[in-house]
Structure 1
Amino acid sequence: MAARTPALRVEGLRYEIDDRVLLDDLDFQVSAGQSLAVTGPSGSGKSTLLMCALGLVKPDSGTVSVAGTDVTRLSARGLASHRRRHLGVVFQFGELLPELSPLENVAIAALLGGVERRRAYADAADLLRWLGVPERGTTGLLSGGERQRTAVARALVMEPTVVLADEPTGALDQRTRETVAELLFDVPARRGCALVVVTHDPSVAARADARVSLDSGRLVERS
């Protein structure tokens, strides 16, 4: 039986800016149900790596395949469609619309993806209940942990193949950080997706199935 296509596969990825090599011939893959943590100092290229996976930064060479499709070769329209279907993102500060309710913040991602309104709101409500976030009220008044759990719900509402998280616990206090990290690393097993987390926090990285560090543009495996 043929092996399944990895959810995310990066091969020969290179990116240089202002004569500085940020990513130098990177190779790795993450399968559905698995998690990978990427660590490294500020400016080492961790966020650039995620932007390449999203198709927002075009590498100088190499491929980034999401659900079997090389996103570096897609047109702008094709990339937008593929990203909506296969990629979910969690940012450090949530990047939510503070004037909307948690339910609206999550549902709008599904609506933009072409999901029918009733189903979009039902799926959003189910995710928020699972994550323990109130549906109503103003998102701007939520606690930091509730906002990040809302951001996780938004990332999952389209049932993506890959979830990318950029310092998802970086703005949280220690107790909330542990709660959000536990929830986030539970996602691959529960939702059947791959998870890639960029983090400075070794306790967060330790939760991943595999850990690598970016050092002088190269990936170094960590135990």
Structure 2
Amino acid sequence: MQVNPVLDVRDLSYSVAGRALLDGVNLTLPAGESLAVTGPSGSGKSTLLNCVLGLIRYDDGAVRIAGQDLAGLKPRNLARHRRDTMGMVFQFGELLPELTPVENVAMAALLAGVKRAEAFGRARRLLVDLGVPVEATPTAELSGGERQRAAVARALVNRPALLLADEPTGSLDTQNREAVAELLFSLPRTWGCAVLVVTHDESVAARADHRFALREGRLVAEDVPLSRGAR
């Protein structure tokens, strides 16, 4: 039986000032699998993520998340669908430094309408599972790796079908980069979600189940990554 993909991008095109950043991009990603897209700065990787998030009105093609075509949604319904089906990890975490990790993670659940006790319970459990301190420590006092793991917890707290990450290891040292990359690419197995990562780091991309490079607006399949047992 064929499983419907969580992410389904068809013939996606987007141009700025006459330059095609995306030129007929196609990709599909089912639950339980990961995909990495590499490319230098300015190649269109973040543009691709923004199209998937529904933040950019693309010129042509279609983006479907969990079976829903984003182009057919009104802004309020699009925001709701994004909240209910997607989680996002940014390069610098984008956490509020004055809040504790638990408060940062719980806030995302509260904004989604989860009751306070459940939101904070989910946040604490996630942070413990991901190895982040849950005591009343401001997020600003965490290490870089701990902040990124807290950002992953925030992206997971609403139990998304699709987790997106934009250069999630770009600001980390080697040790923390490896730890965060290992965490991200373990999520399809441990959480059952689909994971799409864009990165310029080839060693990070090599951990994904599927690997593509964005070149002149088109996705090009790269070498098959290492098997999980060899990582």
Query: TM-score of the superposition, structure 1-length normalised?
Result: 0.98
Partner residue, 1:99: 98
Partner residue, 2:126: 127
Shift of 1:120: 0.5
Question: In the aligned structure 1, how far is the partner of 2:37 from the partner of 2:199?
Answer: 6
Question: In the aligned structure 2, how far is the partner of 1:176 from the partner of 1:42?
Answer: 22
TM-align CA RMSD: 0.6
SS at structure 2 position matched to 1:29? strand
Partner residue, 1:178: 178
Amino acid at match of 1:73: G
Shift of 1:72: 2.1
**1:1-223 matches, cutoff 5 A:** 1=1, 3-135=2-134, 136-223=136-223
Amino acid at match of 2:74: S
SS at structure 1 position matched to 2:21? strand
Greater Cα shift, 71-80 or 44-53: 71-80
Greater Cα shift, 135-144 or 102-111: 135-144
SS at structure 1 position matched to 2:133? coil
Question: In the aligned structure 2, how far is the partner of 1:185 from the partner of 1:73?
Answer: 31
Question: In the aligned structure 1, how far is the partner of 2:220 from the partner of 2:211?
Answer: 9
Question: In the aligned structure 2, how far is the partner of 1:144 from the partner of 1:73?
Answer: 39
Deviations 1:149-201 (A, max 9, x none): 00000000000010000000000000110011001110111001000000111
SS at structure 2 position matched to 1:158? coil
Amino acid at match of 1:68: G
Amino acid at match of 1:158: N
Question: In the aligned structure 1, how far is the partner of 2:160 from the partner of 2:215?
Answer: 29
Q: Where does the alignment leave 5 or more consecutive residues of structure 2 unmatched?
A: 224-231
Amino acid at match of 1:177: R
Off by >2 Å, runs of 4+ in structure 1: none
Shift of 1:38: 0.2
Partner residue, 2:229: none
Q: Where does the alignment leave 5 or more consecutive residues of structure 1 unmatched?
A: none
Question: In the aligned structure 1, how far is the partner of 2:4 from the partner of 2:73?
Answer: 19
SS at structure 2 position matched to 1:108? helix
Question: What is the number of residues matched between the two proteins?
Answer: 222
SS at structure 2 position matched to 1:10? strand
Shift of 1:101: 0.3
Query: TM-score of the superposition, structure 2-length normalised?
Result: 0.95
